[in-house]
Amino acid sequence: MKDFRDLTVWQRAHEVTLEVYRCTRSFPREETYGMISQLRRCSSSVAANIAEGCGRSGNPEFARFLSMAMGSASELEYFLLLARDLEYLGEESHGAITKDVGEMRRMLNRLIVKVQAEARRPAKNVP
């Protein structure tokens, strides 16, 4: 079992989630159960899936949860784009958060590749 807090990708995902919460405070009140909720859920889902995967046994399960985190990151990118196009999120804020999400996705992808490679390696016989 790994401590998710030690993973740089989890730390980045957590930072992105905090930023999403901050920027959605200024969204229109009518979006409380719509756009605000969707953005907050998919951003927190990235970090939550990484954390849950760390608590599972073995790399195949960890890789599965990392894959779900990647799906949530893609969903987050879409909702950020929609928020920008609806003019709830300014160009500057959108650009900064999208840049952070892109970096997080690259980190997540590298970790997925590493975990999948480790899962395919034959177990060593330990006497």
Does residue 39 lie in a domain region? Answer: yes
Task: Find the domain containing 49 and state its range.
Answer: 4-120
Rounded distance between C-alpha atoms, residue 37 and residue 43, angstroms = 10
pLDDT for residue 118 = 86
The answer to whether the CB of 16 falls within 8 A of the CB of 43 is: yes
Does residue 84 lie in a domain region? Answer: yes
pLDDT for residue 120 = 81
Does residue 71 lie in a domain region? Answer: yes
Total domains, the chain: 1
pLDDT for residue 127 = 54
Quick one: tokens of 39?
A: 């953005």
Which amino acid, one-letter code, is at 65?
Answer: F
Give 4-44 as a DSSP string.
GGG-HHHHHHHHHHHHHHHHHTTS-GGGTTTHHHHHHHHHH
Does residue 69 lie in a domain region? Answer: yes
Does residue 115 lie in a domain region? Answer: yes
Question: Residue 109 is part of a domain; what is its CATH number?
Answer: 1.20.1440.60
Does residue 127 lie in a domain region? Answer: no
Does residue 111 lie in a domain region? Answer: yes
Q: Is 87 helix (H, G, I), strand (E, B) or coil?
A: coil
pLDDT mean for each 10 residues of the chain (127 residues): 91 98 96 95 98 91 96 97 96 96 97 90 62
Residue with tokens 């999403």: 20
pLDDT for residue 9 = 97
The answer to whether the CB of 75 falls within 8 A of the CB of 101 is: no
Does residue 125 lie in a domain region? Answer: no
